């Protein structure tokens, strides 16, 4: 199954003139899951049965970051897309996607950060359409910039989800405890859409990723001692 985030990462690497160095860049990582090789979680990933499609609109170098969880969604949901965000020059393939008549696109974002009346809290599928969830993948500050400075997104509805528990995401510290990582938001959105197989498998994959990532970081990529 394709992982559009990894494909985007490969494209950006091929086009880049200099190497991107993230924190922990000295670790010997798996090229796919980006976790230290001794803790690789690629084996046994379960793809879900899912009618909805997902799209990751990624801020600049987000696809390079080992701590990014957006790519976990693309590993679980078969119909996945990923594009690099640009304020003035959006990818033509992204514009074609959100204007494709087979899809019903909506941006996943908190209601308090968009104009009044734009946000929805329930998923009602239009007849003959397939849901397309668009995740703004970056830090919270970057995501706010993306939605405020992307006029081509202005006509899309915003699906707002509220966390019923504090974030389990401990790879990067959010400014507020209620702010969730992209995969955690994906878990909730898929459940809200009735895609329970995808939601459950994504949660399982996220927990596995989080624990392996933190273990590899703690042990500096070295294998556990017997």
pLDDT value of residue 82: 98
DSSP string computed for 4-45:
HHHHHHHHHHHH-SS----TTTTS-B-TTT-SBGGG---TT-
pLDDT value of residue 14: 87
**For residue 125, what are its two tokens?**
């599928």
pLDDT value of residue 175: 41
Q: What angle do CA 116, 137, 105 make, to 5 degrees?
A: 55
Give me the phi and psi of 63, to 5 degrees please: -65, -15
Domains of the chain by residue range: 4-219
pLDDT value of residue 168: 55
Q: What is the pTM of this model?
A: 0.88
Each residue's pLDDT tens digit, 139-150: 889 999 999 999
- Cα gap 158→31, rounded to integer Å: 33
Listed as ranges, residues in the chain with pLDDT below 50 are: 165-167, 169-178, 226
The angle, 0 to 180 degrees and rounded to 10, between the axes of the packed helices 182-192 and 196-218 is: 170
Which residues lie below 8 Å from residue 166, measured CB to CB, with a gap of 6+?
177, 178
Which residues lie below 8 Å from residue 118, measured CB to CB, with a gap of 6+?
157, 158
Each residue's pLDDT tens digit, 54-74: 999 999 989 989 989 999 999
- Cα gap 167→174, rounded to integer Å: 9
pLDDT value of residue 177: 40
């Amino acid at each position: 199954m394709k992982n559009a985030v990894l494909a985007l990462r490969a494209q950006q690497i091929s086009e880049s003139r200099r190497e991107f160095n993230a924190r922990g860049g000295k670790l010997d990582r798996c090229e796919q899951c980006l976790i230290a090789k001794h803790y690789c979680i690629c084996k046994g990933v379960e793809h879900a049965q899912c009618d909805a499609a997902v799209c990751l609109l990624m801020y600049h170098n987000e696809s390079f970051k080992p701590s990014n969880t957006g790519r976990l969604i693309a590993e679980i949901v078969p119909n996945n897309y990923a594009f690099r965000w640009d304020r003035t020059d959006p990818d033509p393939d992204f514009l074609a996607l959100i204007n494709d008549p087979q899809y019903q696109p909506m941006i996943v974002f908190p209601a308090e950060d968009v104009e009044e009346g734009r946000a929805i809290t329930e998923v009602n599928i239009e007849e003959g359409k397939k849901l397309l969830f668009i995740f703004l993948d970056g830090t919270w500050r970057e995501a706010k910039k993306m939605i405020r400075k992307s006029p081509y997104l202005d006509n899309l509805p915003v699906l707002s989800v509220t966390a019923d528990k504090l974030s389990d995401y401990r790879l990067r510290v959010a400014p507020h405890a209620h702010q969730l990582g992209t995969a955690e938001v994906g878990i909730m959105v898929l459940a809200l859409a009735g895609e329970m197989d995808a939601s459950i498998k994504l949660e399982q994959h996220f927990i596995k990723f989080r624990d392996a990532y933190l273990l590899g970081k703690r042990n500096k990529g070295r294998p556990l001692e017997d």
